[in-house]
């Protein structure tokens, strides 16, 4: 037992290093999200440009940013500082997007009287930021922190140890330890590392996030008469206050705006056009960077199209197969927590802690337990990547209607199948759709880990599916085939955007037209 102490101390030190990176990334994300979120909400032109771009960026698999980030950051800051800065910036890119949308929504739904009051009393820009916009953003930002932290941890393992083409980088941290211990089959130390990791997760949740929650809730505008016609039963109010709300929330704002506008169709067209432009701009910039003015770049890209499409189709089946299992588990669990138990807060805390244990740190166990079955590993990673989004989204979206629903259900003694059919399933529908969009996006983001994983120490392929977009992207990254990586990304992003517009938006339109 005593012989384990040096190793435990070393793991504790490494975890502390990782946590310093995570906390620095979180602090930077808070500052950036406040600046961009408030800017996008208050400055019309800035918002019109930034919101669609962020919307597209957050659908891209985060690992795709690695070569760009490393190249830029290490070029500016050489040596170990540069590598650490690269790792931190990678974590930031995983944490940032939902926080920006949280701030953006908080400012967009700010009671107009408060803004008018600051104008009437001649409050200056800096004071307005300090006294109004930043405090008003904090509750929404606090709601997003747990999610961002969980996403950051998901990518911690892969961001601390990575290869791009010919170059390998790694830093001292628990992410490296977990990956190396797990893939080398050292399960005693892997288990200890996992316990330490989970211990840090729990302590962070119970101390840092609880304190931030408490502080942020002082600025809560719930109860303030933000809209005289909104009741707790109003779905619009519910959606405005839901936790998991990245892109769909922003889309919903678009929907609300377009409903109230006489030129709604025109605006809708502009929004879609904005997405298209943002997608083309990002793809073009990436293409220009990688083509290095190579005249054959376009034909080279085209030659990979067929393999990208077939890989995408295979991954599509996996992602949606796992999502069906997510629904089968998440719906009864959420309904139980929301409608059937009085210990909702305890469950919620438990879920937040569980959700903070990323699938990536469990990957070595999965690989070991499901050896030679890459499909099963991929399915599990997809499942774990998506399930919490659905559960948290449902719980958050029913937060403000629960009391009324409970009383109606009890007074009219609605029970059994009728309660499921007429109350539970329909009450969770908006949250379910919001959660589904984010869960599917998260599954796509995880494809690069789910479908292909190699041991960094031995270089051996530990898990691999037959064919899939994640595997394709991975092999492109490891082999440094940037054309293949780019065409893979373009296909995946196009599919996600088209699916959002054609399926999710229509479904959401239909639901909001009834629930609003």
Partner 1 sequence: MEVISVANIKFTFEDKASAKIIDDISFSTGEYEFVSIIGPSGCGKSTLLRIIAGLIAPTAGKILYYGNAVTEPIKDISFVFQDSALLPWLTNIENVKIGLSSTDLKDNVKNKKALEILKRFELNGFEYAYPNILSGGMKQRVGVARALVSDPKVILMDEPFSSLDELTARSLRNEVLNTLKDKSLSLMSVIMVSHNVEEVVELSDKVVILSNKPSLVKEIKKIDLPYPRNRHDKDFQKTVDEVFAKLSP
Sites of contact with partner 1 (CB under 8 A) = 231-235, 404-405, 407-408, 410-415, 418, 422-423, 426-427, 429, 513-516
Q: What is the 3-state secondary structure (H, E, C) of 103-160?
A: HHHHHHCCCHHHHHHHHHCCCCHHHHHHHHHHHHHHHHHHHHHHHHHHHHHHHHHHHH
Sequence-distant (≥ 6) Cβ neighbours of residue 290 within 8 angstroms: 297, 482, 483, 486
Give the separation between CA 157 and CA 489, rounded to whole angstroms: 22
CB of 327 to partner 1, least distance (A): 18
Decide: residue 213, CB within 10 A, 0-12 exposed, 13-18 middle, 19+ buried. Answer: middle
Q: Which is nearer to partner 1, 1 or 411 (CB)?
A: 411
- Residues 117 and 38: their CA atoms lie apart, in Å, by 18
Cβ atoms 81, 24 nearer than 8 A: no
DSSP 340-360: I-S-HHHHHHHHHHHHTS-HH
Yes or no: say if 66 and 162 are a contact pair by the CB < 8 Å rule: yes
Question: Closest approach of Cβ 343 to partner 1, in Å?
Answer: 14
Structure tokens at 166: 């010919």
Determine the 3-state secondary structure of 453 from DSSP: strand
- Minimum Å gap between C-beta 440 and partner 1 is 23
Minimum Å distance from CB 215 to partner 1? 22
Of the candidates 282, 65, 89, which has an alpha carbon nearest to the alpha carbon of residue 164? 65
Give the C-alpha separation, 108 to 110, whole Å: 6
CA dihedral 285, 288, 291, 292 (to 10 degrees): -130
Provide the 10 A C-beta neighbour count for residue 89.
19
CB nearer to partner 1: give 358 or 431: 431
For the bound state, the minimum distance from the C-beta of residue 515 to partner 1, rounded and expressed in Å, comes to 5
Would you call 148 exposed, middle or buried from its count of C-beta atoms within 10 A (0-12, 13-18, 19+)?
buried
Token pair of 330 as six digits: 């998440």
In the bound state with partner 1, the residue whose beta carbon lies nearer, of 119 and 413, is 413
Q: Are 168 and 107 in contact (CB under 8 A)?
A: no
* Closer by beta carbon to partner 1, 157 or else 511: 511
Cβ-based neighbours of 1, under 8 Å, separated by 6 or more: none
For partner 1, which is the closer residue by CB, 4 or 418? 418
CA distance 488 to 305: 8
CA gyration radius for the chain?
23
By beta-carbon proximity to partner 1, the closer residue of 113 and 406 is: 406
User: How many whole angstroms from its chain centre is CA 63?
Assistant: 13
Round to whole Å and give the CA distance between 270 and 382: 34
CB of 159 to partner 1, least distance (A): 42
**Alpha carbon of 309 to those of 217, 306, 314: distances in Å?**
47, 5, 9
Question: Which of 378/429 has CB closer to partner 1?
Answer: 429
Strands 452-454 and 167-170: unpaired
Strand pairing partners for 167? 164
Nearest-angstrom CA–CA distance, 132 and 402: 30
Least Å from the CB of residue 235 to partner 1? 6
Least separation in angstroms between CB 428 and partner 1: 10
* Shortest reach from residue 320's CB to partner 1, in Å: 25
Nearest-angstrom CA–CA distance, 237 and 222: 10
Q: Which is nearer to partner 1, 360 or 512 (CB)?
A: 512
Residue entry with tokens 């490296």:
176
């Amino acid at each position: 037992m005593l012989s384990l102490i040096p190793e435990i101390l070393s793991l504790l030190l490494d975890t502390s290093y990782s946590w310093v990176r995570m906390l620095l990334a979180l602090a930077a994300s808070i500052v950036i999200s406040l600046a961009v979120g408030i800017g996008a909400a208050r400055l019309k032109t800035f918002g019109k440009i930034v919101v669609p771009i962020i919307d597209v960026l957050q659908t891209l698999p985060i690992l795709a940013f690695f070569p760009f980030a490393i190249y830029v950051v290490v070029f500016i800051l050489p040596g170990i500082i540069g590598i650490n800065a690269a790792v931190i910036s990678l974590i930031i890119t995983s944490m940032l997007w939902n926080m920006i949308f949280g701030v953006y929504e908080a400012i967009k739904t700010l009671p107009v009287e408060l803004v008018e009051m600051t104008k009437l009393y001649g409050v200056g820009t800096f004071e307005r930021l300090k006294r109004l916009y930043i405090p008003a953003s904090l509750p929404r930002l606090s709601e997003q922190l747990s999610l961002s932290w969980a996403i950051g941890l998901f990518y911690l393992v892969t961001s601390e140890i990575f290869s791009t083409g010919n170059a390998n980088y790694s830093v001292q941290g628990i992410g490296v330890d977990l990956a190396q211990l797990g893939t080398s089959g050292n399960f005693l130390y892997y288990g200890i590392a996992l316990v330490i990791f989970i211990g840090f997760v729990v302590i962070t949740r119970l101390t840092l996030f609880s304190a931030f929650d408490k502080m942020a809730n002082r600025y809560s505008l719930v109860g303030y008469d933000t809209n005289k016609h909104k009741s707790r039963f109003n779905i619009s109010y519910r959606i405005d206050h839901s936790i998991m709300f990245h892109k769909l929330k922003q889309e919903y704002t678009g929907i609300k705006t377009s409903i109230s506008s006489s030129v709604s169709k025109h605006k809708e067209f502009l929004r879609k056009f904005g997405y298209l432009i943002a997608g083309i701009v990002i793809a073009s910039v990436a293409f220009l960077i990688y083509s290095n003015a190579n005249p054959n770049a376009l034909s080279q890209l085209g030659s990979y199209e067929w393999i990208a499409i077939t890989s995408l189709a295979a991954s599509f089946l996996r992602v949606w197969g796992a999502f069906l299992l997510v629904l089968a588990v998440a719906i009864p669990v959420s309904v139980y927590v929301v409608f059937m138990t009085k210990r909702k807060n305890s469950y919620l805390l438990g879920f937040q802690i569980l959700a903070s244990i990323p699938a990536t740190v469990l990957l070595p166990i999965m690989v070991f337990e499901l050896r030679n079955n890459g499909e099963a590993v991929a399915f599990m990673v997809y499942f774990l990547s998506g399930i919490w989004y659905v559960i948290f989204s449902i719980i958050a979206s029913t937060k403000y209607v629960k009391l009324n629903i409970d009383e109606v259900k009890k007074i009219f003694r609605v029970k059994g199948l009728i309660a499921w059919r007429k109350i539970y399933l329909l009450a969770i529908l908006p949250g379910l759709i919001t959660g589904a969009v984010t869960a599917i996006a998260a599954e796509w983001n995880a494809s690069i880990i789910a479908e292909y994983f190699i041991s960094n120490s031995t270089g051996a392929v530990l898990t691999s599916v037959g064919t899939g977009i994640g595997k394709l992207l991975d092999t492109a990254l490891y082999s440094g085939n940037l054309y293949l990586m780019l065409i893979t990304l373009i296909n995946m992003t196009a599919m996600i955007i088209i699916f959002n517009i054609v399926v999710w938006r229509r479904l959401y339109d239909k639901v909001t037209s009834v629930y609003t």
